[in-house]
A and B are shown apart, each in its own frame.
Chain A
Amino acid sequence: MSTVMDLSNALTGAVASAARSVLAVHGRPRLPSTGVHWRPGLVVTASHTVDANREITLTTPDGREVPAQLTGRDPGLDVAVLRADLGALPVAELAPDAELRIGHLVLALGAGPRASAGIVSALDTRGGRAETMAVDLTLYPGFSGGPLIDVLGRVVGITTSGPARHLQYAIRAEAVTRLADHVVQRGRIPRAYLGVGTQAVGLPETLRERLGLTQRTAVIIVNVRPESPAAAAGLIIGDIVVSIEGEAIAEPEDLVSALTPERVGQAVTVRLVRGGEPRELSVTVGERPPRA
Chain B
Amino acid sequence: MLPPHLAPIAERLREITVEVGGHDGAGAGIMWAPDLVVTNAHVARAESLRVRLADDRRLEAHVVAADRRADLAVLRVPRTRVILAAVADSDELRVGALVVALGHPLGQRGMLTAGIVHALGPLAAGGRRWIHADVRLAPGNSGGPLADTAGHVVGLNTMIAGGLALAIPINEVRRFVSSVLARSP
Contact B150 A5 (CB under 8 A): yes
Q: Which of B38-46, B55-63, B78-86, B111-119 participates in binding chain A?
A: B111-119
* B132 is an interface residue with CB less than 8 A from chain A: yes
Interface on B for A, CB 8 Å cutoff? Answer: 4-6, 8-9, 94-98, 115-119, 121, 132, 134, 148-150, 162-164
Q: Please determine whether A3 and B97 come into contact, CB atoms closer than 8 angstroms.
A: no
Indicate which residue in B95, B98, B119, B164 contacts A4 across the interface (CB closer than 8 Å).
Answer: B98
> What would be 6 A-B contacts, judged by CB atoms less than 8 Å apart?
A3-B4, A5-B150, A8-B98, A8-B149, A115-B96, A140-B162
Contact A115 B119, CB 8 Å, known A11-B96, A12-B94, A138-B163? yes
Q: Digitize A126-167: 1 where CB-to-B-CB distance is under 8 Å, 0 elsewhere.
A: 000000000000101100000000000000000000000000
The interface of chain A, by Cβ under 8 A from chain B, is 1, 3-8, 11-16, 19, 107, 112-117, 138, 140-141
Q: Please state if A5 and B149 are interface contacts (CB–CB under 8 Å).
A: yes
State whether A115 touches B6 (Cβ < 8 A).
Answer: no
Q: Nearest chain-B residue to A1 (Cβ)?
A: B8
Query: Are the CB atoms of A112 and B96 closer together than 8 Å?
Result: no
B9 touches A7 (CB 8 A): no
Q: Roughly how many angstroms separate A107 CA and B117 CA in the complex, as a whole number?
A: 11
Contact (Cβ within 8 A) A7 B4: yes
B121 surroundings in chain A (CB, below 8 A): 112
A24 CB to closest chain B CB (Å) equals: 13
Given the known inter-chain contacts A5-B150, A11-B96, A12-B94, please indicate yes or no for A115 contacting B117, CB distance below 8 A. Answer: yes
B163 and A8 contact, CB distance less than 8 A? no
Residue of B nearest to A19 (CB): B95
Residue pair A4, B6 in contact (C-beta under 8 Å) = yes
Judged by DSSP, the binding face of A is helix
Chain B residues with Cβ under 8 A from A3's Cβ? Answer: 4
Output the nearest chain B residue to A18 by Cβ-Cβ distance.
Answer: B96
Given the contacts A4-B98, A11-B96, A115 and B4 also touching, CB distance less than 8 Å: no
- Contact between B4 and A113, CB atoms less than 8 A apart: no
Chain A residue contacts of B4, Cβ below 8 A = 1, 3-4, 6-7
In the assembled complex, the Cα of A88 lies from the Cα of B96 at a distance in Å of 25
Output the least CB separation between A63 and chain B (Å). 12
Task: Find chain A residues with CB under 8 A from B115 CB.
Answer: 117
Q: Is the CB of B97 within 8 A of A8?
A: yes
CA of A15 to CA of B35 in the docked complex: distance in angstroms? 40
A141 adjacent to B162 (CB under 8 Å) = yes
Question: When the two chains form the complex, which single residue of B5, B95, B98, B150 contacts A113, counting CB atoms closer than 8 Å?
Answer: B95
Of the residues B6, B96, B149, B163, contact of A15 by C-beta under 8 Å? B96
**Roughly how many angstroms separate A58 CA and B94 CA in the complex, as a whole number?**
24
Query: Smallest distance from the beta carbon of A161 to chain B beta carbons, Å?
Result: 13
CB nearest to B8 among chain A residues? A1
Check if A140 sits within 8 Å of B97, measured CB to CB.
no
User: Are B134 and A117 neighbours in the complex by a CB distance under 8 Å?
Assistant: yes
Q: Which of B9, B119, B148, B163 contacts A114 (CB 8 A)?
A: B119
For the complex, give the distance between the alpha carbons of A113 and B96 in Å. 9
B26 to chain A, nearest CB (A): 28
- Kindly state the separation between the CA atoms of A37 and B115 in the bound complex, as whole angstroms: 27
Chain B residues near A140: list those with CB within 8 A.
Answer: 118, 162-164
Given A4-B5, A8-B148, A115-B95, 17 other A-B residues pairs in contact with their CB atoms under 8 A: A1-B150, A4-B4, A4-B149, A6-B4, A8-B96, A8-B149, A11-B97, A11-B116, A12-B117, A19-B95, A107-B96, A115-B118, A115-B134, A117-B115, A117-B134, A138-B134, A140-B163
Closest A-chain residue to B120, C-beta based?
A: A112
Residues of B within 8 A of A14 (CB): 96
Bound-complex Cα distance A285 to B77 (A) = 77
For the complex, give the distance between the alpha carbons of A116 and B149 in Å: 17
Query: B5's closest neighbor in chain A, by CB?
Result: A4
Give Cα A7 to B149, complex, Å.
Answer: 9
Instruction: Determine the distance from Cα of A141 to Cα of B134 in the docked complex, in whole angstroms.
Output: 13
Instruction: List residues of chain B with CB within 8 A of the CB of A6.
Output: 4
Q: In the complex, what distance in Å separates the CA atom of A5 from the CA atom of B162?
A: 28
Q: For residue B9, which residues in chain A have a CB less than 8 angstroms away from its CB?
A: 1, 4
> What's the nearest-Cβ distance from chain A to residue B167, in Å?
15
Kindly state the separation between the CA atoms of A117 and B6 in the bound complex, as whole angstroms: 17
Name the 10 nearest CB pairs between A and B, nearest first: A15-B96, A3-B4, A8-B98, A12-B94, A11-B96, A114-B119, A5-B149, A12-B96, A4-B4, A8-B149
